[in-house]
């Protein structure tokens, strides 16, 4: 054999290893394997312990890891959250305040004759770290607000919790929903106010507090009545005022419908970083960054060779490195989870797949787990059931 042939064999083997499921990660099944589970979400307790939540049989469950994602305690059910409408892009979320309060938010069917697709957002609170739960409360009590969906929550530097959501209440006849915001006080969420109108009705929103205390929101806007591109706004005064929406990328995706896939963002020492799905000027999941807090944005980068890539999530590690996950359809019967590792400046360092190409896994979420690791959770089909799985992955 020639030297050139040997080199070809080595390159092929390296490529196969880079795209194969990680061999040093252990997959843990968290949900009840006798029931279907979905709507995976990942956060941390007030002490920094990883928490994975999900929906199972109309109820909301969560499991806490005492050791950075290596193992998880037995799942707990949030007793006063029931009748949840499972939707992986409108997944329930849980947030832990420094004072020991825990808030869980979730979506229900609205059953309103004004819109058969309408949803309703409710939340429950625990004042004792999850040991007991108060009765459910609606996020919106205004009878004119009959459709609320695609919410997110973030912890403010004050220890309060801010929430954003899409709402039917608007003051014009244009297409789209209104992005609303409220803050949780002693009596629950209050002081609701509209932020932006003409927002795409069916894509997940993202709310994020950076290390300097600024509050960022990203969402899919409807521009000029027909273009559905991702935009970013930021508040430096605790959410009292926000900047004008700016497109993170001029994809110019013209679609009269709802893509059902929202954005992700994070900030490190190099600036803001974004990931999103579009079919404007190319199809798939893309990445870009902003070094100046949302004034200018880099040229977008396609992160997968397959146009079927969707549902990205993004996090930053302690050293500033970035990790990005997504799911992609390999064929009509198979779906896998991808993981991209980037430097703090956004340069790609490695790419791999966490689940097998012949299986079916989707809707991944992730968090930094310390020591150059990320915790990734996702929905996976095992036999006849959809279950919630997690992997602690070294980068």
Q: How far apart are CA 157 and CA 159, in angstroms?
A: 5
> Over its length of 395 residues, how does the chain's per-residue pLDDT go in tens digits?
443 333 333 333 333 334 445 444 689 999 999 999 999 999 999 999 999 999 999 999 999 999 999 999 999 999 999 999 999 999 999 999 999 999 999 999 998 898 888 999 999 999 999 999 999 999 999 999 999 999 999 999 999 999 999 999 998 888 899 999 999 988 899 999 999 999 999 899 999 999 999 999 999 999 998 999 999 999 999 999 999 999 999 999 999 887 889 999 999 999 999 999 999 999 999 999 999 999 999 999 999 999 999 999 999 999 999 999 999 999 999 999 999 999 999 999 999 999 999 999 999 999 999 889 999 999 999 999 999 999 999 99
DSSP code, position 81: -
Per-residue model confidence (pLDDT) at position 258: 79
CB 300 within 8 A of CB 292: no
Q: How far apart are CA 166 and CA 148, in angstroms?
A: 5
Angle at Cα 54 formed by Cα 385 and Cα 51, nearest 5°?
130
Per-residue model confidence (pLDDT) at position 25: 63
Residue 240 tokens read as 């009292």
Centroid of chain to Cα 243: 22
Q: Whose CA is closest to 123, among 216, 45, 26, 188?
A: 188
Per-residue model confidence (pLDDT) at position 173: 83
Q: Which secondary structure element, helix H or strand E, spans residue 388, and what is its range?
A: strand 385-394
SS3 252: coil
pLDDT, tens only, 93-108: 999 999 999 999 999 9
DSSP code, position 240: S
Q: Whose CA is closest to 61, among 388, 392, 390?
A: 388
Q: Whose CA is closest to 149, among 186, 176, 175, 187?
A: 176
Structural class in CATH, domain 38-199? mainly beta
- CA distances to 102, 147, 183 from 126, rounded to whole Å, are 5, 25, 17
Pick left, alpha or beta for residue 332 (phi over 0 → left; psi -120 to 50 → alpha; otherwise beta).
alpha
Q: How far apart are CA 297 and CA 18, in angstroms?
A: 29
Per-residue model confidence (pLDDT) at position 145: 95
Q: Parse the chain into domains and list their residue ranges.
A: 38-199
Per-residue model confidence (pLDDT) at position 259: 87
């Amino acid at each position: 054999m020639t030297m050139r042939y040997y080199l070809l064999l080595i390159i092929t083997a390296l490529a196969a290893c880079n795209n194969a499921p990680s061999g040093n990660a252990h997959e843990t099944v968290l949900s009840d394997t006798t029931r279907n589970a979905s709507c995976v979400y990942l956060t941390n307790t007030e002490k920094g312990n990883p928490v994975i939540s999900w929906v199972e049989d109309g109820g909301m469950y969560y499991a806490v890891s005492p050791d950075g994602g290596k193992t998880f305690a037995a799942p707990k059910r949030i007793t006063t959250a029931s009748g949840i409408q499972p939707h992986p892009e409108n997944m329930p979320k849980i947030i832990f305040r420094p004072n020991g309060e825990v808030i869980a938010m979730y979506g229900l069917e609205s059953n309103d004759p004004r819109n058969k697709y309408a949803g309703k957002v409710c939340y429950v609170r625990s004042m004792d770290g999850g040991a007991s739960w108060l009765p459910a409360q609606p996020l919106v009590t205004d009878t004119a607000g009959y459709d609320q969906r695609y919410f997110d929550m973030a912890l403010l530097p004050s220890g309060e919790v801010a929430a954003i959501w899409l709402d039917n209440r608007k003051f014009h006849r244009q297409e789209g929903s209104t992005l609303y915001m409220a803050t949780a006080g002693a009596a629950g969420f209050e002081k609701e106010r509209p932020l932006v109108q003409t927002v795409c009705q069916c894509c997940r929103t993202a709310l994020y507090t950076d290390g300097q205390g600024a509050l960022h929101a990203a969402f899919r806007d409807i521009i000029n009545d027909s273009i559905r591109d991702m935009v970013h706004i930021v508040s430096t005064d605790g959410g009292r005022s926000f900047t004008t929406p700016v497109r993170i990328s001029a994809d110019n995706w013209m679609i009269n419908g709802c893509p059902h896939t929202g954005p992700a963002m994070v900030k490190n020492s190099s600036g803001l970083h974004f990931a999103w799905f579009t079919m404007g000027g190319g199809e798939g999941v893309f990445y870009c960054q902003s070094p100046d807090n949302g004034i200018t944005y880099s040229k977008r980068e396609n992160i997968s060779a397959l146009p079927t890539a969707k549902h990205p999530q993004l996090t930053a590690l302690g050293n500033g490195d970035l990790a990005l996950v997504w799911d992609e359809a390999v064929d009509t019967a198979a779906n896998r989870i991808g993981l991209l590792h980037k430097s703090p400046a956004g340069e790609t360092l490695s790419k791999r797949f966490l689940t097998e190409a012949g299986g079916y896994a989707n809707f991944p979420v992730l968090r930094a787990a310390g020591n150059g690791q990320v915790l990734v959770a996702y929905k996976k089909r095992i036999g006849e059931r959809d279950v919630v799985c997690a992997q602690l992955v070294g980068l």
